[in-house]
Chain A
Amino acid sequence: MNEHELLKAMSNIDESYIAEAEYPVSIKKTNKPLIRILSILAAAAAMTTTAGAISSVFLHRETVENYLYGDSRKMLEEQELVCNYMTANEHVQLTVETILSDGHLLYLIATLEPLDEEAQNFIAEHGSFPLDLAAIYDDTGEKMNYIGQAGFCSENGNHLIECSYWLKDIDITRPAEMCFSLRKNQDSPEIDFIAGLTIPLDMTPNLESIAFSSDAGDIVYLSEFALCSDTINCITNPNYRIFLIKNNGFRVEINDDFNLSGLSSKGGMGTNLSIPCESYCMFDKLISVTDYDAIEINGVIYKR
């Protein structure tokens, strides 16, 4: 088999995968009868926000499982890291499934459900579209940072949102809120059906994080859901091999076992900048940080 044959063999992959990747994403058959939409709509009209932590079970398990693999969803439920915060307007209902923080990174998973035809059509037609998420301090109204984020349309017509947020230079002890809106571009609908949706933002760490340092004094942080550094761009170079070294000396390459869900760094992802800057990679399942004694990144050892 050579690379051309592999590319040719791709022609015969399952048609459902080809259809799935066809965009704009089309909702084949909605599972939402209009009657249900109307009843939610009526409820939503009176609702601004509902109380958080409705239960210890995710309202949209499929959203969480889309981003976090293995037992992660179950682990979050057992650790009572289920948020289930709901807010809605007449067009959409937003459910924040979970907000995770290790003190360096904040990670949010949410589900946007259309409540009316306009929102339903927009989500279905655009598939992936950019949102603007602004984190604002409650007391002063000061904007902390700007986050742009795109989610994507799932088969059932919901818009799934995953967002990671760098917490450097942010006072995580201050109460805050996150505001959602559609990013304005030529495809934007006349009405921003998300505008005005806000959620309370608790950035207090709820996941464990441990610092590892090299002989040169550089520090990287390993938490249950990410590996990050705010001083060295050593993580996002795809050619670098990264190993987590267990207490018994066993080396686990994060490429293979952690199925990285995404990488990011200031100045461009997948790059190897020589200037100090933040970089991080997120895992797509939760890990136990205490299992590891050291980290090796491109031959450099970082110890606890």
Chain B
Amino acid sequence: MTDDEIIALLFHREEQGVKEISAKYGIKLKQLAFRFLENEQDAEECLNDVYLKAWDAIPPQKPTYLFAYLAKICRYTAFSMIDQKHAQKRNAVLVELTAEMEQCIPDPSANHSQEEITEALNAFLGTLKQEQRMLFVRRYWYGDSIAELAKMRHCQEGRIKTILFRIRKKLEKFLKERGISYE
């Protein structure tokens, strides 16, 4: 079933729409949730939340990219669960990703709204080449490991690490220029 057909089902308030989402994207969404939550039960709970939120939001919303829309809900929900349940103990993937992200923060003490940061991130992503952007998003949005990215790009892990390092340095500079800094 196409995304448009699934969305049409949801617009007609037919529960079959949710079943179709589950059949088409359930595994991928659960994998995404599991990557950050590292717990089967939590991932399942996150997935159910995604279905419920999608059911509530569509309509009126009509996503252009259905999977991206659902994945966004999934990631957001997973991070909310992490904040609630795993405040003291974050999983290895998150520890690794946050450590890398630390290099992009010009000033940790500066307060900026999530909207400001997201706007800056979107603007930054727009400056990257498509291939660099895809790598960055795969690593820091989807949470792919370096090994997975190297396999995907058919290159050595060192190359991926180096490219990501350079992108993070660019992001740091970009955030500083956008005033997301005390300077």
Bitwise interface map of B from 111 to 135 toward A, beta carbon under 8 Å scored 1, else 0: 1101001100110010001110110
Closest-CB distance, B178 to chain A (whole angstroms):
12
Q: CB within 8 A of B117: which of A6, A16, A18?
A: A6
In the complex, how many residues of chain A place their beta carbon closer than 8 angstroms to a beta carbon of chain B? 50
* B53 interface contact, C-beta 8 A: no
* A225 interface contact, C-beta 8 A: no
Closest-CB distance, A275 to chain B (whole angstroms):
16
* A23 interface contact, C-beta 8 A: yes
* A247 interface contact, C-beta 8 A: no
Q: Assuming A236-B162, A270-B165, is B129 touching A3 (CB within 8 A)? A: no
B153 touches A8 (CB 8 A): no
* A1 interface contact, C-beta 8 A: yes
A3 touches B162 (CB 8 A): no
Interface of B is mostly: helix
Q: Chain A interface: which of B7-15, B42-50, B101-109?
A: B101-109
* B24 interface contact, C-beta 8 A: no
A:114-129 near B, CB below 8 Å: 128-129
Q: Which of B67, B72, B101 has the largest number of chain A CB atoms within 10 A?
A: B101
| Residue on B nearest A4 in the bound complex, by CB | B98
**A155→B71 CA distance, assembly (Å):** 20
B105 touches A13 (CB 8 A): no
**A13→B72 CA distance, assembly (Å):** 9
| Residue on A nearest B162 in the bound complex, by CB | A270
**A171→B2 CA distance, assembly (Å):** 54
A255 touches B67 (CB 8 A): no
B:41-72 near A, CB below 8 Å: 63-65, 67-69, 71-72
CB-defined contacts of B162 to chain A, threshold 8 Å: 236, 238, 262-263, 269-270
A12 touches B72 (CB 8 A): yes
B:70-85 near A, CB below 8 Å: 71-72, 75-76, 79
* A9 interface contact, C-beta 8 A: yes
CB-defined contacts of B138 to chain A, threshold 8 Å: 21, 23
Bitwise interface map of A from 138 to 164 toward B, beta carbon under 8 Å scored 1, else 0: 000000000010101011000000000
In the complex, how many residues of chain B place their beta carbon closer than 8 angstroms to a beta carbon of chain A? 56
**A143→B76 CA distance, assembly (Å):** 52
Closest-CB distance, B156 to chain A (whole angstroms):
6
Q: Assuming A2-B108, A22-B67, A270-B162, is B76 touching A17 (CB within 8 A)? A: no
* A7 interface contact, C-beta 8 A: yes
| Residue on A nearest B97 in the bound complex, by CB | A7
Q: Assuming A13-B125, A261-B129, is B169 touching A128 (CB within 8 A)? A: no
Q: Assuming A6-B105, A12-B118, is B65 touching A259 (CB within 8 A)? A: no
* A67 interface contact, C-beta 8 A: yes
Given contacts A10-B75, A13-B125, A270-B161, 16 further A-B contacts (CB under 8 A): A1-B108, A1-B111, A1-B117, A3-B108, A9-B114, A13-B122, A14-B122, A18-B65, A18-B137, A20-B133, A21-B138, A130-B154, A255-B169, A261-B129, A269-B162, A284-B129
A residues neighboring B (CB under 8 Å): 1-23, 66-67, 69, 128-130, 148, 150, 152, 154-155, 183, 236, 238, 255-256, 259-264, 268-271, 284
B residues neighboring A (CB under 8 Å): 63-65, 67-69, 71-72, 75-76, 79, 94, 97-99, 101-102, 104-105, 107-108, 110-112, 114, 117-118, 121-122, 125, 129-131, 133-134, 137-138, 140-142, 152-156, 158-159, 161-163, 165-166, 169-170, 173, 180
28 contacts between A and B (CB under 8 A): A3-B99, A6-B101, A7-B140, A9-B118, A10-B140, A11-B75, A12-B72, A12-B118, A15-B65, A15-B68, A15-B69, A17-B133, A18-B68, A18-B72, A20-B134, A21-B133, A21-B134, A21-B141, A22-B67, A129-B154, A152-B131, A154-B130, A259-B170, A261-B129, A262-B159, A268-B156, A269-B155, A269-B156
